[in-house]
Amino acid sequence: MLIYDLDFSALTNLLKEWNEPAYRAKQIWQGLYQHFYHSPEQFTSLSKPLREKLNNLDFAGFNPSVVQDSSDGQTRKTLFKLPDGHLIEAVLMRYDPDSNSTKGRRTLCISTQAGCAMGCVFCATGQMGFKRHLTSGEIVAQVMYYARLLKEEDLTVTNIVLMGMGEPFHNYDNTMAAIDRLNDADGYNFGARRFTISTVGLVPAIRRFADEKRQVNLAVSLHAADDASRVEMMPINKRYKIEEVLDACEYYVAQTSRRVTFEWALIHGVNDTPEVAKKLAARLRGLMCHVNAIPLNPTAGYHGEATDRQRAQIFKETLEQAGIPCTIRMRRGIDIQAGCGQLAGSVLST
């Protein structure tokens, strides 16, 4: 059993089965999530018999198989091999003028599934198909791996985006359990507003998420302003039309008073024209939202090309003139296939 799969209650019950005092649970919890211990031997405050019992638990969950750093040194991608042989990738992105600075951001892009069932044509993970859900502990373990690395530099994680391999809302319960574990005030204590969940637009899950009134940020991959265009890129649109997705987003805003971010991969000649921007603005008018656009990242299975800087700027200005805030995001880690939509590149080539 992976120790990160245990919430505090389950850990307490396990120690009770082992006839250990309840206060040991808090010591172990803090060791895991505050000191980032990753082996029983590091828990020196525990008795030797208890440390031996802890050896029955898995403290890793996976092994890093390949580590790649981008040429600018700001992005690191790690390929992990799971015990059953499946592969996942996670990414650390530094947004610091000085990588040794405690200021700036260090964002983790975390996977929630091995592969993905959504089949978005421009996404490398979608191109590989669905393998399996990750457990909550396997999601947590990715964060702890990078937290330990950053601690060696006296740095911390500042943001976590669940935008890696997989559709988080397809693995809803495990994804939320992982967030709750990382958010626990007596453990890692990572603020809810520093998480962002990205979804292709699973309408029932968006509404469930809204009803839970979490402070976690919501990002929806839209990429098209009409159903005919979107269904060519995102098969999920056959099931949930744009109007249904936007209705769910309006419900989310009403329930949480938080804005929605719409992700938009700018594809040259496909969805990057002023006409498309005007159509998108008409769709989004009145909704508390923000458009996060990024030139398409290349993948082996899709032949569309990224928009150029000038077209991206015109797209942004067209939206803003219509009252829709828009940001053109920086492309990160393209040279190591660590950018948005590129994860699983290493998987496909192995």
**What pLDDT, on a 0 to 100 scale, did the predictor assign at position 333?**
52
Buried-exposed string 24-57: b where 16+ CB fall within 10 A, e elsewhere: bbeebbbbbbeebbbebeebeebeeebbebbeeb
* φ, ψ of residue 59 in degrees (nearest 5): -100, 0
Share of the chain above pLDDT 70, in %: 91
CATH of 3-54, one of 3.40.630.10, 1.10.150.530, 1.10.3720.10, 3.20.20.70: 1.10.150.530
Strands of 217-221's sheet, edge to edge?
63-69, 75-81, 87-95, 105-109, 159-162, 195-199, 217-221, 260-266, 289-295, 326-328
pLDDT tens, 87-127? Answer: 999 999 998 655 455 578 999 999 999 999 999 988 877 77
Task: Give the angle subtended at the CA of 89 by the CAs of 337 and 135, to the nearest 5°.
Answer: 155
Length of the chain: 350
Lowest mean pLDDT among 79-93, 173-187, 226-240, 272-286: 79-93
Q: What is the pLDDT of residue 350?
A: 36
Q: Name which residue leads in pLDDT, 250 or 70.
A: 250
User: How many Å apart are CA 4 and CA 136, to the nearest integer?
Assistant: 7
Average pLDDT estimate for 246-271: 96
Among all chains, which residue has been given the structure tokens 């249904």?
244
Mean pLDDT for the chain? 91
In the predicted model, is pLDDT for residue 345 greater than 80?
no
Going from N- to C-terminal start, the domains of the chain cover 3-54, 63-348
* Rounded Cα distance, 122 and 19, in Å: 53
DSSP 18-35: TT--THHHHHHHHHHHTS
Architecture of the CATH domain 63-348: Alpha-Beta Barrel (3.20)
Residues involved in catalysis = 89, 340
Q: Which residues pair with 88 in a beta bridge?
A: 80
The whole-angstrom separation of Cα 106 and Cα 97 is 12
Asked if residue 311 has pLDDT above 70, the reply is yes
Q: Is the predicted pLDDT of residue 68 greater than 50, yes or no?
A: yes
Q: What is the pLDDT of residue 349?
A: 37
Q: The pTM is what?
A: 0.93
Task: Band the pLDDT of 293: cuts 50, 70, 90.
Answer: very high
Residue 36 has pLDDT above 60, yes or no: yes
